[in-house]
């Protein structure tokens, strides 16, 4: 067990710490853009350099369709998450701490489909999934279909560190949370007007269709799921000790039924980290990412085929595309290389470049 | 959609069919033993030969500790499942049909930890997981934590064929089942005296320990889970069209808490099939199999490193062992090669050899 202090105190001290690092951030660095999705730099021999990459979901994010104000909000929140994680790494923090802290910030923001900003299920509830993985020992934790957990990424970490299990779902996961001293929140916490309207809009569209029930019930894996109704947040980190970590958190699919679970809590699909290769967090049509075992496939191409990380990640996104799925990944190599391929119009993403400039990107071009 | 008839009628006609194929089986072939866990034979050019392999779980299965009567029961049930699947393939049936039919037989038997013979959770309930994958198109279906489904493997197949989703859990999965005309069974259906006694025995052991709660709550992924409390069934098939399929079904872990889910319903971990490489079904300490992404890792070693299937499967079981986990896999290559490595004392398994003899094996030696 790496953390000995009780959860309550841990959370409190971490909050304070996060506040400090955000305050200490160079404001000049915020908003710098670099128009390429891949770069690589080998760390100096014997001294691994730190790296941090985040995403806030991929989908139909088209330039000109988003208000300037909305875009600024996204950039601000992504910058806050990015700088928080990066500063943890700079201050000798672990890659796991950086990943968890950045994802908590995105979970607490109403902008992203995770935590507070989670979309609504068909029944008008919010069901959250998350997972985290430690590349140094392949330990992992995940939760799925939790309804009263403010920060599912932190519960996933507790599953990893304080239970012999990897995946806990539903009420059982929440019973574990209570036992660990995690305060549960009422479902109302996850209410946001924007997400509620999205659900109503989709339900209206369903009604307009002649036989919507039949269509949704008899859809097949050959048909792409509707874009723009999902989203995910994630982070990958390389710390000073050379350890990789990856984490992913989501509110799932708007209007989802039948206890559907996507790729976010699935180790190997939505999340994977292995010090031998890379750390990966995915976002997109979860079904296709599960079938393509996306995160592990990228790692396998690097390890077994000796493929450079950017080629491996692009190859796997191409496979997802051929199956009919859309989305993207952020991937971080053990050598510090970064790549963020996606086959959608946009993906909210950010990383710190080799000059310590924070790069936030949204669109494809 | 391959199947058009309603589930009720499908089930009925399948039952009759299964009865016929079992009756038509050569009794002389039953019980033949072949003491090797790997063999390979290339099919004749242009005419892929059919192959079928099953398992009924791995664990502390020690020769001499099992009564002759009990061993015979296992051999009989395994033979029935094996011959049923094999005869479907012989009669031009699909690999998916063979996998589903054989797993249904093992689910209906009280001997295996799946379906009828499922172990009990800490709360005295039964929670079932299953998954199936079609190697020809990478479609997949899975269910987890279902409590009223007689044959979870068939529900997993319905998820694959009649929904746009891959994984459904809990009540939601059961709502989908009802909508598809699947008859739900009461929890009492899963009661067996043997499994109930196992739960009581484990609870007694917990009480005897000084601080059992604390121990189980603060276990970590470094500690191996107790052997002999889990089990799984699975099947892999290669049909006359050269299509691979894999399926896995389980009742989970005796005395499990917190909605724990293992590797069986996780595509890439407990189940994977890909016509380019192989079909795999796993059994063992699920947590370690998830962390090692076992089934997909075997496929990746074959595809990207050009490793023979038996070496790939053994290498991945060795990785699981190094992490601290126990269990095994059955794996079937696109070329018809078969391998069944495990690092436990035994694994219930069976396959049909190239002379159409049915081989049932239980112990390591």
Q: How confident is the model at residue A208 (pLDDT cuts 50, 70, 90)?
A: confident
Q: Is A232 a known active-site residue?
A: yes
CB-based contact A89:A95 (threshold 8 Å): yes
Per-residue 3-state assignment (H helix, E strand, C coil) for A85-107: HHHHHHCCCCHHHHHHHHHHHHH
Q: How confident is the model at residue A209 (pLDDT cuts 50, 70, 90)?
A: confident
In Å, how far from its chain's centre is CA A13?
24
Does residue A179 form part of some domain? yes
Shortest CA distance from B121: residue in chain A: A172
Tell me which of A28-37, A133-142, B229-238, B257-266 is least confident: A28-37
Tokens of B301: 């070693």
Mean pLDDT of B136-149: 98
Q: Which of A79, A84, A232, A344 is catalytic?
A: A232
| HSE-up (13 A, CA, CB side) for residue B279 | 35
Q: What is the pLDDT of residue A288?
A: 98
Asked whether the predicted pLDDT for residue B298 surpasses 90, the reply is: yes
**DSSP secondary structure string for all residues of A192-203:** -HHHHHHHHHHH
DSSP state of A357: -
Q: How far apart are CA B258 and CA B315, in angstroms?
A: 32
Could you count the other beta carbons within 10 Å of the beta carbon of residue A166? 29
Mean pLDDT of B156-163: 98
Does residue B248 form part of some domain? yes
Nearest to B296 among A161, A287, A296 (CB): A296
**Alpha helix positions (H), A91-186:** 95-108, 152-162, 170-179
Mean pLDDT of A315-327: 97
Q: Which residues contact A126 (CB under 8 A, 6 or more apart)?
A: A118, A119, A120, A147, A187, A190, A251
Asked whether the predicted pLDDT for residue A294 surpasses 70, the reply is: yes
Q: What is the dihedral of CA A18, A348, A55, A177, to 10 degrees?
A: 70
Q: What is the pLDDT of residue A60?
A: 79
B350, containing H or E segment: strand B346-352
Q: What is the dihedral of CA A286, A289, A291, A297, to 10 degrees?
A: -160
Q: Which residues pair with A347 in a beta bridge?
A: A58
Does residue B34 form part of some domain? no
CATH code of residue B95: 3.60.20.30
CB-based contact B104:B153 (threshold 8 Å): yes
Does residue A218 form part of some domain? no
In percent, how much of chain A has pLDDT > 90?
73
Probe site for chain A from B304, B306, B311, B319 (most A CB atoms < 10 A): B304
Asked whether the predicted pLDDT for residue A4 surpasses 70, the reply is: no
How many domains does the structure of chain B reveal?
1
Q: How far apart are CA B147 and CA A233, in angstroms?
A: 32
Paired sense of beta strands A167-169 and A139-146, if any: parallel
ipTM of the prediction: 0.86
Q: What is the pLDDT of residue A207?
A: 87
Asked whether the predicted pLDDT for residue A62 surpasses 90, the reply is: no
Q: How confident is the model at residue A128 (pLDDT cuts 50, 70, 90)?
A: very high
Q: How far apart are CA B187 and CA B147, in angstroms?
A: 6
- Which residues of chain B have a CB within 8 Å of the CB of A297? 296, 300
**Burial call B232-252: b when 16+ CB within 10 Å, e when fewer:** bbbbbbbbbebbbbbbbbbbb
CA distance B35 to chain A (A): 32
pLDDT digits (tens, 9 = 90+) for B243-252: 999 999 999 8
Q: How far apart are CA B260 and CA B129, in angstroms?
A: 11
Start-to-end C-alpha separation, chain A: 44
Q: What is the pLDDT of residue A151?
A: 98
- Which residues of chain A have a CB within 8 Å of the CB of B220? 1, 161-164
Q: What is the pLDDT of residue A40?
A: 47
Mean pLDDT of B76-85: 98
CA proximity to B237, closest of B278, B267, B284? B278
Would the CB atoms of B167 and A267 count as touching at under 8 Å? no
Does residue A19 form part of some domain? no
Q: How far apart are CA A294 and CA A281, in angstroms?
A: 9
CA proximity to A236, closest of A226, A227, A244, A225? A244
Does residue A236 form part of some domain? yes
Please, what is the average pLDDT of chain B? 85
Q: What is the pLDDT of residue A13?
A: 44
Q: How confident is the model at residue A7 (pLDDT cuts 50, 70, 90)?
A: very low
Asked whether the predicted pLDDT for residue A313 surpasses 90, the reply is: yes
Q: Which residues contact B283 (CB under 8 A, 6 or more apart)?
A: B55, B57, B58, B231, B232, B233, B234, B248, B250, B270, B327, B328, B329, B342, B347
CA proximity to A329, closest of A252, A253, A248, A259? A248
Q: From start to end of chain A, where are the E strands?
A: 38-39, 51-59, 128-134, 139-146, 167-169, 233-238, 244-250, 260-261, 271-273, 278-284, 327-333, 338-339, 346-352, 358-363
Probe site for chain B from A125, A128, A134, A259 (most B CB atoms < 10 A): A259
CA proximity to A74, closest of A358, A354, A364, A350? A350
Residue A167 — left, alpha, or beta (φ > 0 → left; ψ -120 to 50 → alpha)? beta
Q: Count contacts between A and B (CB, < 8 Å).
A: 181
Does residue B125 form part of some domain? yes
**Alpha helix positions (H), A25-151:** 68-90, 95-108
A26, containing H or E segment: none
Stated pTM of the model: 0.87
| HSE-up (13 A, CA, CB side) for residue A353 | 17
Q: What is the pLDDT of residue B231?
A: 84
pLDDT digits (tens, 9 = 90+) for B328-361: 999 999 999 999 999 999 999 999 988 889 999 9
In Å, how far from its chain's centre is CA B364?
19
B271, containing H or E segment: strand B271-273
Q: How confident is the model at residue A231 (pLDDT cuts 50, 70, 90)?
A: confident
CB-based contact B247:B100 (threshold 8 Å): yes
Tokens of B268: 């890439």
CB-based contact B153:B100 (threshold 8 Å): yes
Q: How confident is the model at residue A220 (pLDDT cuts 50, 70, 90)?
A: low
Tokens of A145: 């279909």
Residue located via tokens 């809009």: A201
Would the CB atoms of A220 and B291 count as touching at under 8 Å? no
Q: What is the pLDDT of residue B220?
A: 53
Q: What is the pLDDT of residue A64?
A: 81
Q: What is the pLDDT of residue A230?
A: 64
Task: List strands edge to edge, sheet with A260-261.
Answer: A260-261, B167-169, B139-146, B128-134, B244-250, B233-238, B51-59, B346-352, B358-363
CA proximity to B280, closest of B226, B332, B318? B332
Domain assignment of residue A318, given as a range: 51-188+229-363
């Amino acid at each position: 067990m790496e953390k000995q202090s009780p959860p309550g105190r841990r959370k409190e001290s971490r909050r304070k710490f996060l506040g400090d690092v955000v305050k200490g951030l160079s404001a000049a660095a915020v908003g710098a853009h670099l128009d390429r999705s891949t770069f690589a730099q080998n760390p100096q021999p014997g001294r691994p350099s730190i790296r941090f990459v985040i995403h806030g979901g991929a989908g139909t994010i088209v330039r000109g369709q988003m208000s300037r104000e909305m875009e600024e909000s996204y950039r601000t929140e992504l910058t806050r998450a990015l700088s928080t994680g990066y500063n943890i790494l700079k201050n000798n923090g672990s890659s796991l701490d950086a990943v968890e802290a950045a994802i908590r910030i995105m979970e607490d923001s109403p902008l992203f489909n995770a935590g507070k900003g989670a979309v609504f299920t068909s029944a008008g509830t919010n069901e959250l999934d998350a997972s985290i993985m430690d590349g140094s020992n392949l330990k992992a934790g995940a939760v799925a279909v939790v309804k009263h957990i403010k920060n599912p990424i932190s519960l996933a970490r507790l599953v990893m560190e304080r239970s012999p299990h990897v995946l806990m779902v539903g009420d059982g996961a929440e019973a574990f949370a209570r036992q660990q001293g995690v305060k549960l929140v009422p479902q109302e916490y996850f209410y946001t007007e924007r997400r509620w309207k999205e659900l109503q809009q989709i339900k209206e569209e369903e009604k307009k269709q002649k036989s919507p029930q039949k269509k949704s019930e008899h859809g097949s894996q050959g048909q792409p799921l509707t874009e723009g109704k999902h989203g995910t947040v994630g982070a990958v980190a390389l710390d000073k000790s050379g350890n990789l970590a990856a984490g992913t958190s989501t509110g799932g699919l708007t209007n989802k039924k039948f206890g559907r679970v996507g790729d976010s809590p699935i180790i190997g699909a939505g999340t994977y980290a292995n010090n031998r290769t890379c750390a990966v967090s995915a976002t997109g049509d979860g079904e296709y990412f599960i079938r393509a075992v996306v995160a592990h496939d990228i790692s396998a191409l690097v390890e077994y085929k000796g493929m450079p990380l950017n080629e491996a990640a692009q190859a796997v996104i191409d496979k997802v595309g051929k199956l009919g799925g859309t989305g993207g990944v952020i991937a971080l190599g053990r050598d510090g290389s970064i790549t963020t391929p996606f086959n959608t119009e946009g993906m909210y993403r950010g990383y710190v470049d080799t000059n310590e400039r924070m790069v936030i990107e949204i669109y494809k071009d």
